[in-house]
Structure 1
Amino acid sequence: MSGSRKVFIVGPGFIGWNVLDLLIAEDYSVTGFVRRQEHADQIKASGASVVMGDLDDKASIREQTTQHDIVIHTATADHLPSAEAILEGLRQRAAKGLTTTYIHTSGTSVLDDGAAGAKKSDKVYHDDVRSEVDAVPDDAPHREIDLAIVRAQRELGEKAKIAIMIPPLIYGFNPNHKRLTIQIPTLTRFALKHGYAAHVGAGSPVESNIHVLDLARAYTILLHHLEATPPAKTLENPYYFCEATDDNEPSWRDIAALIGEHLHKAGKIPDPTPRTLPKELYGDVFGPFTNAVIGLNSRSRAVRLRELGWAPREKDWRRSYVEDELPEILKEEVGSFEGYRGTVAS
């Protein structure tokens, strides 16, 4: 790929930093928008330029968007102002006759069926059938931002190429970055604090999953596809799932059982048997969003990415947890852990 293609990545963290590394390796010119100086230094060491700021700095995000051919948002899926700033930048570029490629990160919590841990669902969503995603309720998690982007896509027409990446439960570990994902590590920290692995309700619902390095490759494959596709063709369907299911969709009880088994083997908890998470302890996982994060059915199929030649190739979620993630978590001091305080992409 030509180094003349300029990419602006908003939030090059757990997902975006891996995408950034791949794009740098392909000789793209990449700028990362980061909040902390420590992370800015890491992104510079990866070969990218850096702009400092937070997601509420709409003016800076808008201005950087106007200066870049490609924009990728990999920060939280629930921050409307930052997405709006990008869309404003796209409009400004369009007014000058410039076409922009924009990939936004949503998440399959948008498919939350309200199961709250009670039952497994047979409903599976396919991204090659746009109507399945369009039928998601307007008040579903992440949906407000997704709909704002869909409206902007209609407005901009062929003046922008817009896609929404919708990853499921993300797992995995890049030893070069030393960053962990959200859901399974949070449940592990809860177990270390309280002495047992937990799941919401009966733990019966299931969610598709993806290794972060497979997901990062999917972004680059999607980007290449958008670059090679006429703008009019990209208007047909903005949605892309990304999962490595292969009949290996774990229930939340399966996940809790794996956590319990291996924390027990490590001598960290007295009993490997998972238990139902008491509602009064939801604050030690995801607070009021607990049911929508770890109690949902969320089953998706990445039909479109597979048609582009993408396929998952990293470790499955079980191997990744046992071999990579758990050893890192056990290095932490988690006695005062009080739940996850950020927002969750999936």
Structure 2
Amino acid sequence: MEPRIFITGVTGFVGGTILDRLYKHHPNIRVDALIRKETDATQLASTYPNLTPIIGTLASLSLLKSAAAAADFVIHVGGDNIPAVCAMMDGLASSLSINKGSSPSPRLISLTGIRSLIDLSLPITGVARSGSRPWSDIADLDTILQFPKTRMHAEADQAILAHSAAQGVGTMLVSPGQLWGQGKGVLKKESHSAFYYATVKSRGRAFVIGDGSVPWSWSSTGDLGDAVVFLMEQAIMSGDERREQVGVNEQGYYFVRSGEVSLMERAKFVSERLGLGEVESVSVEAAKEIHPFGHIMFGCGETTRADRLTKLGWAPKELDWKALMEEEGGQRA
């Protein structure tokens, strides 16, 4: 019998993609999905067989706990919500036969992000730092999991892993780079990449901070969805020996990476597509006027290596970021 999955965030760009990939790889899978609106629940239930909507929000902690307790595996795509994820862990712990002396079995994936790698105490210049190197989710794991809690995602990542270990539940944190391509779900199709494209159109010029040489690792939405499904398969649909190779908690942080691109490369390609002139260099203050997080979106970057997924035998398939930018009309960048 196919496993029972409880998933949050299915009406969003990432969660909708993961839900679609679950059914693509396992058409008979049983899914319980947390959904806020009845209209969205009706549409998703009519699209995907064996999907049971659970009407509620991430503030419905008792509901989250009971839904997780009934599931074989939980996938959280609802952001850095510590109480919600901890409630789902409590539910998993209540339904599992846990041997406190053994390594916990992988039972939960929570999506995080690589913006925890950004040190905002350093000046934002848009210029690639000399001597910088990609972050490895194996070699650099101790550093990544001990970042100051003031960094994006860091406090949530650390709290989730601490509670997971205390409950004897195996948790994996999955951290993609910038996301490229159209969402694969039936509701939300576009990410923040559509915002940059729309802003360039309205301004009449593509732009970066500084010289835009700072690079970002990126993942296609499809690759991210496939990576999450792959980890779920290794966790609960493989043999004991294979399952033991899946790192969890302090060994359970996974980058997902399809490639990398500099902000200037992206800006130049957008400018070419729209028939605009040279790329404009804007100040940090001007970037903040465009968007409250504009200085981070347009002036910072980090690169990663998905060593842990590679070690398990997974590899990305969609490697052409320009094709993903133009996919289905290409209103994104």
Give the TM-score range, shorter chain: 0.7 to 0.9
> For 1:314, which of 312, 318, 333 is the aligned residue?
318
Paired position in structure 2 for 1:336: none
Separation in structure 2 between the aligned mates of residue 198 and residue 294 of structure 1, nearest angstrom = 8
Residue 239 of structure 1 aligns to which amino acid in structure 2? Y
For the residues of structure 1 that align with 2:127 and 2:309, how far apart are their CA atoms? 29
CA RMSD of aligned residues (A): 2.8
Cα deviation, residue 231, structure 1: 9.5
Say whether 1:118 aligns with 2:126. yes
Give the secondary-structure state (helix, strand or coil) at the position aligned to 1:85: helix
Q: Is the 2:182–2:327 Cα contact (8 Å) retained in structure 1? A: no
Which amino acid is 2:7 matched to? I
Alignment correspondent of 1:242 = 256
Residue number in structure 2 paired with 1:19? 18
User: Structure 1 stretches of 5 or more lacking a match?
Assistant: 265-269, 331-346
Q: Is the 8 A contact 1:262 1:322 kept in 2?
A: no
Matched AA of 1:168: G
Amino acid at match of 1:237: Q
How far, CA to CA, are the matches of 2:306 and 2:287 in structure 1?
34
Q: TM-score, normalised by structure 1?
A: 0.81
Aligned-partner Cα distance in 1 for 2:175–2:246: 22
The amino acid across from 1:119 in the alignment is: V
Determine whether 1:195 maps to 2:204: yes
> Which of 195, 205, 226 matches 2:214?
205
TM superposition shift of 1:273 = 2.5
Residues 329, 293 of structure 1: CA spacing in aligned structure 2 closer, same or farther, 3 A cutoff? closer
Q: Distance in 1 between matches of 2:177 and 2:184?
A: 22
The one-letter amino acid of 1:324's match is E
- Given that 2:161 and 2:249 are in contact with CA atoms closer than 8 Å, whether structure 1 keeps it comes out as no
* CA 170–33 in structure 1, closer or farther in 2 if over 3 Å, else same: same
Q: Once the two structures are superposed, what CA deviation does each residue of 1:9-48 show, in whole Å capped at 9, x if it has no partner? A: 1101222222222323413211111223443233211222
Code of the residue aligned with 1:40 in structure 2: it is A
| Matching residue of 1:7 | 5
Contact 1:70 1:102 in 2 (8 A): yes
In structure 1, what is the Cα distance between the partners aligned to 2:287 and 2:309?
A: 39
Structure 2 distance, partners of 1:146, 1:319, is 33
SS in 1 for 2:68: helix
CA–CA distance in structure 2, aligned partners of residues 50 and 125 of structure 1: 38
Counterpart in 2 of 1:79?
81
> Which residue pairs with 1:29 in the alignment?
30
How much does 1:242 deviate?
0.5
- Counting only pairs closer than 5 Å after superposition, residues 90-109 of structure 1 correspond to structure 2 as 90-94=92-96, 101-109=107-115
C-alpha distance 53-112 of structure 1, shift in aligned 2 (>3 A): same
How far apart, CA to CA, are the structure 2 residues paired with 1:127 and 1:162?
15
Contact kept, 8 Å, 1:162 with 1:234, in 2: the verdict is yes
Whole-angstrom CA distance in 2 between matches of 1:102 and 1:23: 15
Percentage identity across paired residues of the two chains: 23
SS in 1 for 2:13: coil
Q: 2: CA distance between counterparts of 1:321 and 1:235?
A: 34
Q: Is the 8 A contact 1:90 1:100 kept in 2?
A: no
User: Superposition pairs for residues 329-340 of structure 1, below 5 Å?
Assistant: none
Q: What is the DSSP-based 3-state SS (H/G/I as helix, E as strand, rest coil) of the residue aligned with 2:115?
A: helix
Please say if 1:134 is aligned against 2:140.
no
Taking the aligned partners of 1:88 and 1:322, their CA distance within structure 2 comes to 43
Query: CA offset at residue 59 of structure 1?
Result: 2.6
Residue in 2 aligned with 1:334?
none
The structure 2 residue matched to 1:58, chosen from 61, 81, 85, is 61
When residues 139 and 156 of structure 1 are mapped into structure 2, their CA distance, relative to the original with a 3 A threshold, is same
Aligned to 2:176: 167
Q: Is the 8 A contact 2:215 2:301 kept in 1?
A: yes
Of residues 60-69 and 36-45 in structure 1, the stretch that sits farther from structure 2 once superposed is 36-45
Q: 2:280 maps to which residue?
A: 274
- 1:187-226 per-residue CA deviation (whole Å, 9 max, x = no partner) reads 1111122222222343232110010101111011111222
1:58 to 1:100, Cα distance in 2 relative to 1, 3 A: farther
3-state SS, counterpart of residue 103 of structure 1 = strand
Q: In the aligned structure 2, how far is the partner of 1:59 from the partner of 1:196?
A: 50
**Alignment partners' CA distance in 1, 2:256 and 2:106:** 23
Count of residues in correspondence between the two structures:
314
- Structure 2: state its 5+ residue gaps: none
**Shift in Å, 1:298:** 1.6
> What amino acid is aligned across from residue 124 of structure 2 in structure 1?
A
Q: Which amino acid aligns with 1:46?
A: Y
Q: Is the 8 A contact 2:16 2:188 kept in 1?
A: no
Q: CA deviation at 1:301?
A: 0.6
Question: Which residue among 302, 308, 322 is the counterpart of 1:304?
Answer: 308
Q: Say if 1:35 and 1:196 are closer, same or farther in 2 by CA, change over 3 A.
A: farther
Deviations 1:158-200 (A, max 9, x none): xx22100011101111566374443321111111222222223
